[in-house]
């Protein structure tokens, strides 16, 4: 089963991240960052942007999906940044910036405060069932003269998939086609075109011709096309609960959810494949190295210390003060690393590892004449050797 394979890979990634964070040091920092990204992909929801031009029915569609009207606040739609809807046990708002990890919370319903702070996006935590599987990004209209189109395209590109809303009254205009062509190809491949306002009298009588034209002009550009009568969908599923299945299907709501489910399933399957490849091809050797690093024994540490300290002592007469200090610092640093990976280590050995690392730093900062530096470094070695033998012998 793909889900079982994903679970195994998730556990492997979690194990590697934990061990690399604790014992890997700089050597595994880049790979650990990749593993954390792979872990987020396997465990996180699919992010879907709902986008289109102004008055294309985007926010109404979002309200249908989450089963709740986003509260009116007095803030003009032209002032709103992108709004990210994600699952939360309690409703909450926060604002954020693309280049800053922290988010600024706001009291519930107070969107205007966040808008006035010029946040790049607003996050709404909400306990809607669909948000267990996806995050929904409501992107403001792209044809507004007050909007920076590059920023809005950036917001869309942040998503994994797109629901593009086009108004049936003047559907799939040249400006829409131009904007669509600027989005990344993988994002466009996971997309649904939703033709809105098909319930309007002027459209309802010719909806067949609208559907035919959309299939001809945009059919190859989207994974699917849905004609949505929003008022009928809202009436058929008030609060997100379907009470009239026939009307829900006639409205296009059923086709919309089925299209979203297909997109999500495809993206999840690709994430599972990518996660498995990463674990199989990238983590096996790294995990073996980490296991070796974390299985150092006390006798091995003592043996390494004695052999290297003896070798350094024999070389001392042939080294100048600077060379001796450098080798002493390397020895202290390496022993500190071994102690931090000591199998069966305790608080005392952890403290000793910190002491060796600190001593290495002290040695590299010596400044008092070459002979004085070498003498101080030799005293550090003697002191740390006594500490080591006392605690590990």
Total number of domains constituting the chain: 2
Q: Which CATH number do you get for residue 221? A: 3.40.50.300
Averaged pLDDT for residues 254-272? 95
The residue range of the domain holding 316 is: 298-392
- pLDDT the model gives residue 64: 93
Decide if pLDDT at 132 tops 80: yes
Q: What is the pLDDT of residues 24-75, one digit of tens each?
A: 567 788 898 999 999 999 999 999 999 999 889 998 999 999 988 874 444 4
pLDDT higher for 230 or 333?
230
Going by pLDDT thresholds of 50, 70 and 90, the confidence category of residue 101 is low
| 67 within 8 A of 111, measured Cβ to Cβ | no
Pick 322 or 73 by higher pLDDT: 322
Helices (H) and strands (E) in the chain, counts: 17, 9
Considering the domain boundaries, does residue 105 fall inside one? yes
DSSP per residue, 334-363: HHHHHHHTBTT--HHHHHHHHHHHHHHHHH
Residue 185's alpha-carbon distances to 143, 160, 300, in angstroms, are 21, 11, 54
Instruction: For residues 224-239, give the mean pLDDT.
Output: 94
> Is a pLDDT exceeding 70 seen at residue 196?
yes
Q: Does 167 lie in the same domain as 101?
A: yes
| Beta-strand relationship, 92-97 and 100-106 | antiparallel
User: Tokens for 170?
Assistant: 């003047």
pLDDT exceeds cutoff 50 at 1 = no
Q: Are residues 331 and 231 in the same domain?
A: no
SS (H, E, C) 269-285: HHHHHHHHHHHHHHHHH
pLDDT of residue 23: 65
| Together in a domain, 303 and 360 | yes
Percent of the chain, pLDDT > 70?
Answer: 87
pLDDT higher than threshold 60 for residue 76: no
Assess whether 217 and 73 both reside in one domain: yes
Residues 355 and 215 grouped into a single domain: no
As a whole number of angstroms, the distance between CA 126 and CA 63 comes to 12
Cβ atoms within 10 Å of 286's Cβ, excluding its own: 18
The greatest distance separating any two alpha carbons of the chain, rounded to the nearest whole angstrom, comes to: 100
The answer to whether residues 134 and 205 belong to one domain is yes
- The pLDDT score that the predictor gives to residue 344 is 60
164 shares a domain with 71: yes
Beta bridge partners of 167: 196
Strand partners, 296: 342
Tell me what pLDDT residue 392 has.
76
More confident residue, 187 or 98: 187
Strands (E), 24-180: 46-52, 83-87, 92-97, 100-106, 121-126, 134-138, 161-167
Same domain for 50 and 125? yes
**The two structure tokens encoding residue 273:** 């494949």
Q: Is residue 256 part of a domain?
A: no
Confidence class of residue 288 from pLDDT cuts 50, 70 and 90?
Answer: confident
Would you state the pLDDT for residue 73?
40
Within-domain flag for 109: yes
Range from 165-169, 173-177, 372-376 carrying the lowest mean pLDDT: 372-376
pLDDT at 163 over 90: yes
- Percentage of residues in the chain having pLDDT higher than 90: 40
**pTM reported for the whole predicted model:** 0.71
Q: How large is the average pLDDT for residues 207-228?
A: 94
Residue 201 and residue 318 in one domain: no
One domain, residues 118 and 173: yes
Whether 21 maps to a domain, the answer reads no
């Amino acid at each position: 089963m793909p889900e079982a394979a994903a679970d195994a890979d998730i556990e492997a990634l979690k194990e590697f991240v934990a061990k690399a964070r604790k014992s890997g040091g700089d050597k595994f920092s880049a790979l650990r960052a990749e593993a954390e990204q792979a872990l987020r992909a396997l465990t996180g929801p699919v992010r879907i942007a709902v986008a289109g031009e102004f008055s294309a029915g985007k926010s109404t569609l979002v309200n249908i999906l989450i089963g709740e009207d986003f509260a009116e606040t007095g803030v003009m739609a032209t002032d709103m940044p992108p709004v990210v809807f994600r699952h939360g046990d309690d409703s909450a708002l926060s604002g954020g910036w693309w280049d800053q990890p922290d988010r600024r919370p706001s009291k519930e319903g107070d969107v205007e405060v966040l808008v006035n702070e010029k946040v790049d996006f607003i996050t709404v935590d909400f306990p809607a069932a669909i948000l267990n599987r996806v995050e929904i990004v409501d992107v403001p209209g792209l044809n507004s003269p007050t909007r920076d189109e590059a920023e809005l395209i950036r917001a869309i590109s942040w998503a994994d998939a797109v629901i593009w809303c086009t108004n049936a009254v003047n559907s799939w205009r040249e400006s829409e086609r131009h904007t669509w062509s600027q989005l990344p190809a993988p994002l466009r491949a996971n997309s649904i075109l939703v033709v809105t306002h098909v319930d309007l009298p002027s459209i309802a009588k010719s909806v067949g011709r609208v559907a035919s034209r959309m299939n001809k002009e945009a059919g190859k550009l989207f994974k699917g096309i849905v004609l949505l009568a929003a008022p009928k969908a809202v009436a058929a599923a008030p609060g997100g609960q379907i009470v009239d299945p026939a009307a829900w299907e006639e409205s296009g709501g059923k086709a919309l959810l089925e299209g979203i489910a297909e997109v999500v399933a495809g993206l999840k399957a690709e994430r599972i494949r990518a996660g498995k490849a990463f674990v199989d091809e990238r983590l096996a050797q790294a995990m073996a190295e980490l296991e070796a690093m974390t299985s150092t024994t006390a006798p091995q540490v003592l043996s390494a210390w004695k052999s290297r300290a003896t070798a350094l002592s024999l070389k001392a007469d042939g080294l100048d003060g600077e060379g001796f200090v450098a080798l002493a610092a390397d020895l202290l640093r390496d022993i500190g690393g071994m102690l931090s990976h000591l199998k069966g280590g305790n608080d005392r050995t952890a403290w000793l590892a910190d002491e060796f690392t600190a001593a290495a730093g002290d040695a590299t900062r010596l400044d008092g004449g070459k002979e004085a530096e070498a003498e101080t470094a030799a005293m550090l070695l003697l002191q740390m050797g006594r500490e080591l033998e006392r605690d590990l012998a």
